[in-house]
Amino acid sequence: MNTTPKHKILIATIPADGHFNPLTDVAMYLKEQGHDVRWYTGRNYSDQLADMGIPMYTIQQKVEVTQDNLNEVYPERLKLRGAVARIKFDIRHIFLGLVNTCFEDIRQIQEEFDFDVLLADAGFVAAHLIQEKLKKPAIVFGISPLMETSRDLPPSSLGLTPRPGLAGRLRDSLLRTLITKVIFNDSTKYYNQIIGAHGVAPINEIIFDTLIRRTTLFLQSGVPGFEYPRSDMHPNVRFVGPLLPRKKTSNKPFAYAKLAGQYEKTILISQGTVDNKEPDKLIIPTLEAFKDKPYLLLVATGGMHTAYLKTRYSQSNIIIADFMDYDATLPNTDLFVSSGGYGSVLLGLSYGVPILGAGKHEGKNEIVARIGYFKLGVNLKTERPTPQQIARGAAEIFSNPVYKENVARLQNEFAQYDPNLLTERYIRDAVATFQTNRQLTV
């Protein structure tokens, strides 16, 4: 008999696929183990949650902001240049802009559903305030590379890799000061105004660090082998392996197996589901690079410009579809050309596929930087590569066995982690510890 305590669990995510999807498999597992699982997010996920059989609470916004209408609600965002400017804007207007709304919503939810623990994605900044004011343990999931500031590393968000030696340490120290004191100083001040109105003590750090260091636990998607070495990682951080979306269907055979046998290589191409409105960023130059090669090219458009691309590229070695079954396709793939979304990259690596990465915004520069640093593929260092750059990157991966060897090593490390079992264990321990500490302070 399973005597594991059952808990009331509230999951909270901002309304974006990269924040919602990584927690779907964990949520279903917890539900199947008998926990009372409910989800608080944007109403655009109502169909998915209904399909999962998980009760939903919706964010109460006058104008709902989603990944699809973000630039319509904030047209000035499109005028920003550079990754830092975009991140700075998003933190202020999107992440911090939701804090008061989410806190008030969840305070009302608590009256109906007195949850034992809050599970939140790393963009759900209100998790810190909820733990402080509602006295509930908040466990935050890192759904991008670890963003904690470290004395050993350049600051997160710039897409820089560690540089050895005195010059590298000086560079990184100066950049950390610049990021903390100048670039994100206004966001810290704004967040302190928000929490100060609730009687919560101010922070003196980047908000990413607060969500790691001032919540109960921080469960990082991924493994140590895909993270830069650091000597000062906060004890709240636990790696749980790759947090991957719930599989919507049972395992299916590879639909293009017979066709793939006619070609030397099979290449999967994706520009993601958010930044996929301009296929000339990555899809088109990749097709131009490989269309005349003895390669089978499988393109997942994410539902954007599919008909146009099919008309433009009618070659027999090119298959274009709204979506591909990644779980069936990746085990039969030689190369994954990706815009650098964390979930898709982790999925590709979990199947042992080298990555050709081209990403810049939404933290993708950090993801592709790690791909290049650990030689799991090639970082093209741009979100608009030319066909020539893509061809050179692919040739490097195909000709040098070190990439396949490193991916195989990381794939084996992934297999040592069970995200669902680990998450349930950390929930159980966190709730017990939190309750004990509260009793001791009463």
> Which pLDDT tens digit goes with each residue over 121-135?
999 999 999 999 999
Confidence band (pLDDT; 50, 70, 90) for 289? very high
Nearest to 144 by CA among 203, 227, 40, 247: 227
> For a pLDDT cut of 70, what percent of the chain falls above it?
97
Nearest to 362 by CA among 127, 163, 151, 71: 71
Q: Tell me which of 3.40.390.10, 1.10.10.10, 3.40.50.2000, 1.10.3720.10 is the CATH number of domain 256-415.
A: 3.40.50.2000
Q: Count each helix (H run) and each strand (E run) in the chain, helices first.
A: 19, 13
Strand order in the sheet with 138-142: 56-58, 36-41, 8-12, 117-121, 138-142, 217-220, 237-239
Mean pLDDT, residues 351-379: 94
In this predicted structure, the answer to whether residue 442 has a pLDDT above a threshold of 60 is: no
Rounded to an integer, what distance in angstroms lies between the CA atom of residue 259 and that of residue 374? 32
Residues belonging to the chain: 442
Distances from the Cα of 385 to the Cα of 165, 340, 348, angstroms: 31, 13, 20
Two structure tokens written together for 167: 């010059």
Tokens 């409105």 correspond to what residue? 277
Query: Residues 337-347: pLDDT tens digits?
Result: 999 999 999 99
3 state SS of 152:
coil
Query: Residues 8-36: pLDDT tens digits?
Result: 999 999 999 999 999 999 999 999 999 99
Residue-level pLDDT at 3: 63
Angle between the N-to-C axes of helices 387-399 and 283-290, in degrees from 0 to 180, rounded to the nearest 10:
60
In this predicted structure, the answer to whether residue 229 has a pLDDT above a threshold of 90 is: yes
Q: Are 207 and 189 in contact (CB under 8 A)?
A: no
Mean pLDDT, residues 241-268: 90
Residue-level pLDDT at 81: 75
Out of 55-64, 221-230, 381-390, 404-413, least confident range: 55-64
Give ranges for CATH 3.40.50.2000 in the chain: 8-241+417-440, 256-415
Q: How many CA atoms lie within 13 A of 10 on its CB side?
A: 27
In this predicted structure, the answer to whether residue 2 has a pLDDT above a threshold of 60 is: no
Tokens 């898709």 correspond to what residue? 344
Residue-level pLDDT at 91: 84
Query: Residues 105-156: pLDDT tens digits?
Result: 999 999 999 999 999 999 999 999 999 999 999 999 999 999 999 999 999 8
Main-chain dihedrals φ then ψ at residue 375, nearest 5 degrees = 50, 50
216 - beta bridge partners?
A: none
435 - beta bridge partners?
A: none
Which one has a higher pLDDT value, 40 or 76? 40
In this predicted structure, the answer to whether residue 393 has a pLDDT above a threshold of 70 is: yes
Confidence band (pLDDT; 50, 70, 90) for 380? very high
Q: How many CA atoms lie within 13 A of 432 on its CB side?
A: 9
Q: Are 344 and 272 in contact (CB under 8 A)?
A: yes
Query: Residues 200-210: pLDDT tens digits?
Result: 999 999 998 99
Q: How many CA atoms lie within 13 A of 128 on its CB side?
A: 26
In this predicted structure, the answer to whether residue 1 has a pLDDT above a threshold of 60 is: no
In this predicted structure, the answer to whether residue 319 has a pLDDT above a threshold of 90 is: yes
Q: Tell me which of 3.30.499.10, 3.30.930.10, 3.40.50.2000, 3.10.28.10 is the CATH number of domain 8-241+417-440.
A: 3.40.50.2000
In this predicted structure, the answer to whether residue 254 has a pLDDT above a threshold of 70 is: yes
> For a pLDDT cut of 90, what percent of the chain falls above it?
79
Confidence band (pLDDT; 50, 70, 90) for 61? confident
Mean pLDDT, residues 258-286: 91
Residue-level pLDDT at 142: 97
Confidence band (pLDDT; 50, 70, 90) for 279? very high
Tokens 């520009």 correspond to what residue? 271
Mean pLDDT, residues 32-55: 96
In this predicted structure, the answer to whether residue 238 has a pLDDT above a threshold of 90 is: yes
In this predicted structure, the answer to whether residue 440 has a pLDDT above a threshold of 80 is: no
Average pLDDT taken over every residue of the chain: 92
In this predicted structure, the answer to whether residue 327 has a pLDDT above a threshold of 90 is: yes
In this predicted structure, the answer to whether residue 234 has a pLDDT above a threshold of 70 is: yes
